[in-house]
């Protein structure tokens, strides 16, 4: 399931990146905003993964 999501995200990014190659000039603020958003997306995916893993481990723990 996750590999399909990663593949689709990479496909979407691959479609978007060639469009930047044809731009005459990109304002530095746009580059900064775009890179910040990409970083936040990756960070949120990482945090969600860690929270789900922690909850799964907590639920699977046996009661002593």
* pLDDT tens-digit readout, 2-60: 677 777 777 777 666 665 556 567 778 888 898 899 999 999 999 999 999 999 888 88
pLDDT of residue 44: 93
Looking up tokens 């530095």, which residue turns up?
Answer: 28
pLDDT of residue 22: 60
What predicted TM-score, i.e. pTM, was given to this entire model? 0.54
Contact 34, 40 (CB under 8 A): no
DSSP letter (8 states) at residue 22: T
Token digits for 19? 């469009």
d(CA 55, CA 32) in angstroms, rounded, equals: 34
pLDDT of residue 52: 92
């Amino acid at each position: 399931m996750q590999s399909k999501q990663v593949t689709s995200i990479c496909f979407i990014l691959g479609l978007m990146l060639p469009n930047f190659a044809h731009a005459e000039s990109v304002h530095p603020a746009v580059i900064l905003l775009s890179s910040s958003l990409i970083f936040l997306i990756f960070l949120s995916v990482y945090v969600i993964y860690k929270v789900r893993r922690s909850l799964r481990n907590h639920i699977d723990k046996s009661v002593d």
